[in-house]
Structure 1
Amino acid sequence: MTVVGKTTTRFNVLGPLEVWHGDVLVPIPAGRSRLLLAILLLRANQPVSADELVDRLWDGEAPNPDRAKATLQMVVRRLRQSLGPAKVVRTAVGGYVADVPPGALDLHRFRELAAAGKYAEALELWRGEPLRDVRSDVLHQVEVAPLLEEYLVVLERRIDADLDAGRAGDLVAELRSLTGQHPLRERFWGQLMLALYRSDQQAAALAAFRAVRATLVEELGVDPGPMLTDLYHRILRDDVPGGSVVMPSRQALRHVPPEVSLFVGRERELAALDEATLEPGAVVLLHGIGGVGKTALALSWANRRRDRFGDGDLHVNLHGFDAAGRPVEPASAAEALLVSLGVRPEDVPAGLAERTTLLRATMAGRRILLVLDNAADSDQVIPLLPGTPTVTVLVTSRNQLRKLAAHQRVTCAAPRSTTSAGSTRRSTGTTRRSKPSSGGWRSRCTSAIGGWRASSSRTSAACTSGLDSTPSPSSTIPARWRSRRSRTMTTGRRRRTSTSRSACSASTGTRRRRSTVGERARSSRAMATTTTPRGLSASSRRRRGRWAGSPKRSRCCVRGSRP
């Protein structure tokens, strides 16, 4: 509880939004002030960016985008005034945060009691649908839906504890109501069948199986899972063991690709991912510019933290920014996930809504990491979110996906570039004393570039191109780099163009024919054009070409060359 002076402050979100300052209920004005407080409390002690708050408060349609942040400050000011001495909203870097100490928020107490196995006490904290007096469709779809799933998981565990304690007869009425409210949740049906069987109602237990099978076939076009099927056959044989409904043992799913072998560094981002995924059912967004290494970072973290996800990990490449193809549709991605989870392809429903419903039911209660890689926008990701506290979702994208209610947003920034030779050695893993072999990454990249004398940071980036994908051979280096051999003219001692060689002496000192003024002008113009920095404007490049093409400049360029 928050202590203000000698008075404690409590915040309740598991039901209507309430703020209690001692024994006094603090009135919160309806509208955006109430919505702002709800958003901050659901992510208590976690900074929320101003851009995301603006997007959520106005559902992506701010009245005046140029003054959106100023309008947000007015909403924050009104909220602080209404909270009075119970104010907990603090300005953070780039946004705001609700500083809530342990025990002051009912959602935190609910999770602590559930983790301690005190399921009945945890469920008593619920006063109805969370935040039902806060008007926001996006909030209820993205934030409240996972809370309801979390509630159902704890409720299932409480019923299992009651079955173990021998209170099967007292559970039949409650379970009939739960199966009516959640007809696609097989765990409740299994608990009902077990409670009926232990209450000497074997025929009713078998009828419950037939009812759930008909519902699943009609709604989703699938048969009951192995847990219900096994329990049905055991009831037929009158061979049901004691205890609660036992889920069949599953082999851990390991679908995340292996870690990239050249991955180095990124300790700060790895630590940020560790912290961001501590909250149950967290949705974490890893965003950054293209080619910066988001995929490699996500795969490296997923492989290093596999022990946290006992039921496995799943990976889907959504191809959001592939130049050769279209982004993967959510329906296709859901189908791929269902097949990965063991659903037969012929049992996968046709529509997106049916597929996502079956996906949530299949993943419920399983400790899984779901990696949604290379997402184009929020609409591609939101239908695939399982909304269960046991599943952690990691999304990578070039965009910030403002509509996605991510618990944390981790920025994958580009590493600092440097032109020192040590930077290439650090990036490629070579030491100062060791001479790179001819078959090394830098040698292959340099040969593929065509002898282009790039800066060490550019060559390092080419050599470590595997940071955003698996390492590729030199044959896959972009053609625009390989073509630079024909376009780039270097001024070093070892290489010259044929035109400059015809005008200058070779290393042996043999005198060659003197080139004409026109040849020298063309050679100088080519040199000036190919070595012109990219940042120059078109007019600057034309002036540079005219100046280099003059006879006087040509004589200077040619005569100044030495073997």
Structure 2
Amino acid sequence: MAQATVSFAVLGSLEVRVGERRLRLGGSVLPRVLTTLLLSPGQMLPVARLVEAVWGENPPSTAAHQVRKAIGDLRQRIPGGSAVIVTDGPGYRADIPPGELDISLFSLRLQRAREALGARMTAEAAEQLRTALDLWRGPAPDAESSGPLIAAGYAVLEERRLAAVGQLVDLRLDLGEHQELVGDLMELVAKHPLRESFRGQLMLALYRSGRQAEALGEYTALREILVEELGVDPGRQLGSLYEAILHGRPELQAAPRTAGHENPSGPEPVAPDEYTAPCTLPHDLTGYAGRERELELLLGTADDTRRLRIVAVDGMGGSGKTSLVVRAAHRLADAYPDGRLHTDLRGFSPSQEPRDPGIVIAALLRTLGVPDERIPEDLDGRVALWRSTLSGRRVLLVLDNAADAAQVRPLLPASAGCLVLITSRSRMSELDGSESVSLDVLPPADSLALLRAALGEERARTESAEMERLAELCGHLPLALCVAAARLRSRARWTVRYLVDRLADESRRLDELRSGDRSVEATLRLSYQAMGVEHRTMLRLLAIHPGTDFDVPAAAALLGLERADAEDVLEQFLDVHLLEQYEMDRYAFHDLVRRFARRLPTEGDETAAFARLLDHGLAVTDEACRVLFPSRGADPLRGSPSAAPPAVMTPKQAAAVFDREHSTLLALVRQAVAEEGFDEQAVPLARNLVFYLDMRSYLPQYEKTAALAATAARRLNNLPALRNCLNNLSVAQWKAGRFTEGIATVAEALAIAEELDDRRDMAVSLNSLGLLNSSLGRLAAAEECLERAVELFQGSGAGRQEGYAHSNLSSVYSYLGRHQDAAAAAERAVQLSCRYGAESEGVTALTDLAIAQLSLNETAQAHATISRALSLGDERRTPEDLALAFAVASDIHQRLGDHRRSTDCAERSLELIRSEGTAIRRPAVENILGNVHGRRGSHYRALALHRDAYRHAQVIGFRVEAAHALRGLATAEAALGDAEAARVHREQADELCTRMGIPFDRYAA
């Protein structure tokens, strides 16, 4: 029997059907997770987004685990669920054929409607829209029932639905169905009383049905509502419709219905006897590719003959504005039989001022055949003649390279039926009645299409990977892509790979993107030269920022301005496309613009600007660390902050600041240390960053930051600061498994602490030294260091650090088989973590206590202890410690006979340690889980885990875990009948344990 088809629906509410049967999903977690995935089909959603969808801003500590469990449950409940919900990197993706998901069908129907409109098949377009709207089964769920994030997704869908409704109404009006529409439109207006488009459609339908008074009354009713609720009048478009209805203008009458209900072509405009329609458009481009969405939008502008249409296309220099508009103009030419005119306004042209509007109008009038003697001298007279000349004509006017709205405004016709296409590097937001199309860089697929069109399909096949890299190095900027393609075409022996290698040199990239008289740098320079001196300086200073993007406060620090003034500057740069904005309050340079700005001549104010940026970074991270790490010690370099402190943060906001900015902060520290002169700011900034990087287990960045801080502190010859930096660096080296390097580092820190006679910092260094020695199997030395550290910590006020020392000492006691001492030390560590407000950091101490309790056969107590550890654990905060806790929990659950929970904990432990773990924790986790599988009888699985543990332990010299792995291998091999291999590994383990002076009974059954 064929398997029943599974279908999914979210338009109105969530519904999953297997054939005719509706699948029930209990609770709230499963439906919300599935709904979130279905609202973004084909897109990878990280676990954090699914957590937010289910719980909003206050998720439980186990939220991520619950989401993953929900994914597993959905895969089991939905037939073929593993193929429907797939793991994709750090998240999950709904992979559903379009025919089995209503939201995909909805998008498909809308696309077919657009295609039918492009072919002027009005009735077919209307039918496709009806079919799309019929997919909706009811209203979208509200935020209370679905959560804010899902409700926001439905809000976007609802806007798409209403837009489709409006488009269908327009088509039905064009088809002469005005009388049939009145009732539907009244219902729409009742539901959406402030939506002017529906009100206008109702007015038109009423007027065409012979109900002029009612049509005018609808306008009056809307005006009363708007004035009362918002204090505004209806928009200009609705006002124009009101005036047209009031005066009974003939253009409002419906076109007569024709066979097939398609749009009639209508009569051609009557031209004056002596008039010949001119065309001054530049030649159409060959090899044009990409921008299909924007091109379709422009091609749709010829459909409305009832009004003047103005479309302003803006984008950065080289984004392909003129190419797009000229392409569209040629495709639209037949719809404008009275003239297709192009003029370059020279708003951004080398060595030329923007053209005067009066001069432009005179030239356009001459093109239309107006003799010189009829052209007035004054601007107002020319504007009046220009508009009267175009009256009643359908003319397409391309105003290319406009400087601003003031230059364009006098050139606009006044008559309906004309189309004006404008290109500019500046947004024409001040141009009333215009529509805006902003060009970003090309999508990667469009970039490759452009290169294929320019270089040929053969090259695209043989050098596809190199072409993708070429597109990336060109920043997906059309001009850069065209220049690169031109260079390749003019140099027959060059391969794409060769040009890619040349462009990889960042210092020369702009020099390479030059071909003939076309140059990316020259194009960018035009935008730069069009600015005033003050804005040129600000652009150069903003380019100092080392991050990929930045917020307004960071920009204000660089520019030395108040926040509001800095935001005004950023918005001005955004308007001329020298900056980009992908989310609210954050700005970014296009890569090539940044490189251009960094090549500009320096003026001596960069040093002060960079210092202000460092001060700003310090102020923000000081506040974030105050919230996240309240009990950290004082910074020996920090006096009164020179930058104003930011607003008080919540812990979530503080973590979010670091999550977003940590890469930028590392780049800032790196630049500060490289340039020198900023060491007093670099050291405390690095210290703030190190705390966060350690919390998140971003170990390579942690070690790099700590090393940079040590370099700067050494240059300052500040011993207390250097001692702190070295201690931080030694911890990073321990976590990375470089124990010998760590011992050398911490030995220097200890010598400084002894020289300064600082008991507390001597204890800190001894704690690290004990940790490093224990990892190398030097247990006697480790015990001595840690016991001395505990002694020095007592009475120093460093309770949290004393807790760490007790926890580390517990591990050493466990290695030595002194399990009662291990339990006592771990218990003391737990007490200190609670007393000093660091309970959430006590996962390691609780795990050590559970291990000691297991070794003392106190399984029930160990279960309570590890349960407490897991309740405090946070996978976003030292996930490797949580991985170890899950591994121990797996061991405990197995001993208690709860094999399902043991399996769940084992899987979670491996998932964490393999994706986010540290070198130091991985072999320990794998050894524990190897023992668990061995006792379960899964000896091949145990063998594989112990092999991995041994390999990982050997790489870093972790001798204790290497011994555990060898013993685990021997046990698994004996169970599998390989007595010889078991004997060899057992002897190797015994020899290693003997050299370390430890019995092997840490996880004895």
TM value normalised by structure 1: 0.50
Q: Which has the larger radius of gyration?
A: 2
Q: Which structure carries more helix by proportion?
A: 2
